[in-house]
Amino acid sequence: MGWTTEDMPDQQGRIALVTGANSGLGLETTRALISRGCTVLMACRSARKGEAARSQLLGSGAAGLDLLELDLSDLTSVARCAREVAERYGRLDLLINNAGLMAPPRMLSRQGYELQFAVNHLGHFALTKALLPLMDDRPQARVVTVTSGAQYFGVMAWDDLQGEQRYDRWKAYSQSKLANVMFALELNQRLQASGSAVRSLAAHPGLARTNLQPVSVAATGAWQEALAYRLMDPLFQSAAQGALPQLYAATASEAQGGEHYGPSQLGGLRGAPKQQPVARAAKDQNLRQRLWTVSESLTEHHSAAV
């Protein structure tokens, strides 16, 4: 059977921020956390979609839900969101870096960075750094960064991180997902070295049915991808099942900093959460440090002092 939301420990008195909380994995993560008494800050790009999701959850009897506007493609919005959390709550127990984009045509963020790298990695990097002071003294405080199986195909194009010379939307996606797990591991190492009790973990959902796939197909009109998704449909698990690895990483007492969780069956495509290996490049401390340094230089002018 494996671990399910029924096995989640009590979350009364805890505050979690979930990015991309209005749909897919984020919505299911929010639903599970509030079922255990957690107060969840739903950080969403669209206030309208966020409010619709919040109303749906409140309609099913949930309490402890707040809505925050967060556009991860705009570092000014990231800084504003972090300040709002500090002013409204002054503390944070869980940060789940869940939101993401998958394989759109090449577009740029507000600051001029390639959109997938900006949203999937840089926005979460800046948000995490800004919110960490609020997590410092909280028991069992954790940061969970959601990656994907695409990390195993990812290559950091150090000389062309923004895809200016050559852009392949799937390579850019895989690069951003590799960056997620590199960041999660490097963050945990730095937290431990500084004596912080906050822990950083990574998780991936396997093949989960979310709006990432249809949005990607609609943005590019790629009929081949639409066909591939239809053929693979029997392998897909629900968004609720796909959210289990990140929920396990966020709440299970056995989960430790620096670990990476994904589904346990079919090579990590589906099933109950289990610790999974990370991409080889993510094990290289020199590469992780290089990514950290680059990320700091790309985000430093927009950081939020909380």
Residue 203 C-beta-side C-alpha neighbours within 13 Å: 36
Where do the DSSP E strands lie in 175-257?
A: 199-203
Residue 230, judged by CB atoms within 10 A of its CB (0-12, 13-18, 19+), counts as exposed
Sign of the torsion formed by the C-alpha atoms of 267, 212, 168 and 281: negative
Query: Catalytic residue numbers?
Result: 173
Residue 195, judged by CB atoms within 10 A of its CB (0-12, 13-18, 19+), counts as exposed
Instruction: Please check whether residue 29 is in contact with residue 98, taking contact to mean a CB–CB distance below 8 angstroms.
Output: yes
CA 213 to chain centre: 16
């809505």: which residue's tokens? 67
Q: Distance (Å, rounded) from C-alpha 17 to C-alpha 39?
A: 9
Q: Could you give the 3-state DSSP secondary structure of residue 181? A: helix
Instruction: Please check whether residue 256 is in contact with residue 248, taking contact to mean a CB–CB distance below 8 angstroms.
Output: no
Q: What share of the chain is helix, strand, coil (3-state, %, to 5)?
A: 50, 15, 35
DSSP for residue 301: G
Q: Distance (Å, rounded) from C-alpha 169 to C-alpha 154?
A: 12
Q: Distance (Å, rounded) from C-alpha 127 to C-alpha 199?
A: 16
DSSP for residue 6: G
